[in-house]
Chains A and B, each alone.
Chain A
Amino acid sequence: AQKVTQAQTEISVVEKEDVTLDCVYETRDTTYYLFWYKQPPSGELVFLIRRNSFDEQNEISGRYSWNFQKSTSSFNFTITASQVVDSAVYFCALSEAISSGSARQLTFGSGTQLTVLP
């Protein structure tokens, strides 16, 4: 069975600190996709990034960066110089095939609640 584990339930940091959110996944698919979503207090999920299993190049986008390591099945997310507005629940998700030759579904981790204190 495919699984996404976010071991950190809650993290609190002080503004301007760097913070890394961990994500470990399990899959038997050879082709898969990984996503990070942010859920602010308002409730909607906001798409942040996707990575496919063939692309291990790490990415930086502004204050956000992602570290994908296939050898350890990890897809970690780092926020540099955190801000109060970064406070939210962050979900890692794995895209898997629902059935042979059919659709894909997202399997979500349980989320990490990030609180950035002023």
Chain B
Amino acid sequence: DGGITQSPKYLFRKEGQNVTLSCEQNLNHDAMYWYRQDPGQGLRLIYYSQIVNDFQKGDIAEGYSVSREKKESFPLTVTSAQKNPTAFYLCASSISSGVDSNQPQHFGDGTRLSIL
């Protein structure tokens, strides 16, 4: 079945450690996104990518990094510079993200990151 797979479902980070969250899609979508969700809040955009080998910062990119070497994959690294990383992270994709696009974003099941 086509969809978005995020792994792991739960992740724990030690102080000073970088961790990488995986996001893979087999929907043949061009655009991919990473969001952060804190309790009782909506989603905030961390990074997005419109095409392979290109990505842009969202509203809260500090302390995060991404890569887009393949169309199917958009991993997110939470670096030690992110001082408050505990949150629920959601990856999404859409057919395109162009200015005229009204395509809905499809979401993965999320990764819950906690600090040890």
Contacts and interface: CB of A to CB of B under 8 A. Distances in A.
Interface of A: 4, 9, 31, 33, 35, 37, 42-47, 50, 52, 91, 93, 95, 97-98, 101-106, 108-111
Which of A46, A52, A95, A103 has the largest count of B CB atoms less than 10 A from its CB? A103
Contacts of A102: 99
A47 B104 contact: yes
Interface residues of B, number: 29
6 contacts: A44-B110, A91-B43, A103-B31, A103-B98, A105-B33, A110-B40
Which of B33, B43, B100, B107 has the largest count of A CB atoms less than 10 A from its CB? B43
Interface in B96-116: 97-102, 104-110, 112
Contacts of B58: 105
Given A42-B109, A47-B105, A98-B56, A105 B45 contact: yes
Given A33-B102, A97-B99, A105-B33, 16 more contacts: A4-B42, A37-B107, A43-B88, A43-B90, A44-B90, A44-B107, A44-B110, A46-B107, A50-B102, A91-B43, A103-B98, A105-B97, A106-B45, A110-B42, A111-B41, A111-B42
